[in-house]
Amino acid sequence: MTNSINTPFYIESVVSVVSGYTVKLSSPSFLSPPIFHAEKNKTFTNNLSVYSPDKDSISYKLVTCKQARDVDVEGYFIPEEFKINPYSGQITWDKPSLEGLYNFAAMVEFWKNGAKVGYVIRDYQVTVNAEQLSGQVFEVTTSHEITPGNSVSLDPGDVFSMEVLFHDTANSVANLKYFGELQNEDGVFNITIEQVTSKARNSNTAVQSPMYKATVTMNVEEKYKRSTPYNLIFRGETGAFFDNISNDFTIQLYIGVPVPLGVNFKRAKGNLNLSFYPVPVKDQLTVKKESNDSGTLIIYNSEGRDVKSIYLSKGVVDTHFGIDLKSGTYIYNFNSDNGKEFSSGKFIVN
C-alpha cells in the first residue's frame, strides 16, 4: 500500500431503513481495540470481538481499505493467507513471513429477520514482530461436543461447562483476557479467570511459566434461546506492555437452534488422521491428510452411492474442493495405495 504513513484509519457506518418495519437499531459494540500484535512465522488468530446489543445476526467479510468514502487505498491487496470466518469474526493469518505494520478492513453486517439493516467498515492494524520463540498453548475441555469449527449446540435444560487453560512454554510473562459477549447481561453465563499452578517450565530460562484458567458455567434455560449464537472469546497474551503477542480462542454457543449452514464432522475411525475444515463452510472444503502414503478418498451419500472421489498424494496434503453437496449425511472412506492406512467416518452438510 503506497503512502501508508499518511493514510489515516477509516470507519464507515450505514443504517438501512426497511420499508414497512419499525425496528430498534442500536450501534454495535467493538469490545477489542483495533490493533493486534503477531509473530513472524507463527499462525496468528484474533477475533474482531463485535457485540450487538439488539442480538442481531452478524456476518463478516474482508474488504479493500479505503482512504475516503468510495475511494480505495492505492496499491492495497489482501494476502491469500489472510482469512476471516464469516460467522464468528475470527481472523487467521497463516504464518506471516515479513515483519512490519499491516492494515486490513472488515465489513461487519447486521441482519434482522433476514434483512440487512446496517453495516460498519472498520480499519485494523496488525504489527508483525520478530520471531520470539513463543509457545502459546490453549487447552480446552467442554461438557458438550465441540465441532472442529468451535461451535456447541445446547438445548434448554442442559448444564454447560468449559475450562480454557492458557500458558506460554517459552515466556515467563503471560495473561488471559476475555473479549466476548457481555457475561453479566441477563445472568446467562458466568466466567472467571484465575492464575493457577503450572508444572510447565520456560524452555529458555527454566523459570516456571504462568498458567491461567478460565472457567465457564451455564445453566441453559428456555429464555436463553435466540437465533444468534453467544460468542465467547478468550485472548492469550505473552510479552510486555504494548508489544504483546496475542492469539484468540473463540467458541460459539447455539441455544435451541441448529448450528448454521456448514459441515459438522464426527470423529473418524482408523489409523490415519484426516482433518476437514473450515466449519462452517461457505463454498469450499479442505481435507488435510497427515501421512506419507497416497490414496483415494471416496464420499458416499446416505443411499450408499459414491458422489465424489478425490486422490490424495503422498505427504501432508491440503486438498480444496467446492462444497457442491446437498444437505444430508455423508460417509467417507480413505484407503492408502499400500493398504496400510485407512480412515472412515461421517459428516453432515446442513
Do 118 and 181 lie in a common domain? no
Tally the domains of the chain.
Answer: 3
Note whether 83 and 48 are within 8 A (CB).
Answer: no
Note whether 125 and 36 are within 8 A (CB).
Answer: yes
Do 305 and 232 lie in a common domain? no
Q: Where does a domain end: 110, 129, 148?
A: 129
Spatial distance between the Cα atoms of 182 and 161, rounded to a whole number of angstroms? 17
- ∠ CA(315), CA(318), CA(321), 5° rounding? 135
Do 118 and 8 lie in a common domain? yes
Do 244 and 287 lie in a common domain? no
Q: Domain limits at 118?
A: 4-129
pTM for the model? 0.67
Q: What is the dihedral of CA 257, 57, 180, 124, to 10 degrees?
A: 150
Do 153 and 231 lie in a common domain? yes
Do 75 and 14 lie in a common domain? yes
State which amino acid sits at residue 232.
L
Q: Rounded to 5 degrees, what are φ and ψ at 331? A: -115, 140
What is the tens place of the pLDDT at every residue in 8-25? 788 888 887 655 555 667
Which pLDDT score, from 0 to 100, does residue 143 have? 92
Spatial distance between the Cα atoms of 23 and 31, rounded to a whole number of angstroms? 24
Do 100 and 150 lie in a common domain? no
Supply the CATH number for residue 32's domain.
2.60.40.10
Do 8 and 123 lie in a common domain? yes
**Per residue, what are the HEC states of the chain?**
CCCHHHCCCCEEEEECCCCCCCCCCCCCEECCCCEEEEECCCCEEEECCEECCCCCEEEEEEECCEEECCEECCCCCCCCCEEECCCCCEEEECCCCCCEEEEEEEEEEEEECCEEEEEEEEEEEEEEECCCCCCEEEEEEECCCCCCCCEEEECCCCEEEEEEEEEECCCCCEEEEECCCCCCHHHCCEEEEEEECCCCECCCCCCECCEEEEEEEEECCHHHCCCCCEEEEEEEEECCHHHCEEEEEEEEEEECCCCCCCEEECCCEECCCEEEECCCCCCEEEEEECCCCCEEEEEECCCCCEEEEEEECCCCEEEEEECCCCCEEEEEEEEECCCCCEEEEEEEEC
Q: In the chain, which stretches have pLDDT less than 50?
A: 200-205, 261, 263, 265-268
Grid cell locating 106: 472488515
Do 239 and 327 lie in a common domain? no
Which pLDDT score, from 0 to 100, does residue 193 have? 93
Do 69 and 102 lie in a common domain? yes
Spatial distance between the Cα atoms of 237 and 188, rounded to a whole number of angstroms? 27
What is the tens place of the pLDDT at every residue in 80-134? 889 888 888 889 998 898 998 899 999 998 887 667 788 999 999 999 988 776 6
Q: Where does a domain end: 255, 283, 308?
A: 255
Q: Where does a domain end: 129, 145, 173?
A: 129
Q: Rounded to 5 degrees, what are φ and ψ at 222? A: -60, -35
Spatial distance between the Cα atoms of 46 and 39, rounded to a whole number of angstroms? 12
Spatial distance between the Cα atoms of 99 and 127, rounded to a whole number of angstroms? 8
Note whether 178 and 201 are within 8 A (CB).
Answer: no
Do 47 and 150 lie in a common domain? no
Supply the CATH number for residue 308's domain.
2.60.40.3080
Do 145 and 122 lie in a common domain? no
Which pLDDT score, from 0 to 100, does residue 268 have? 47
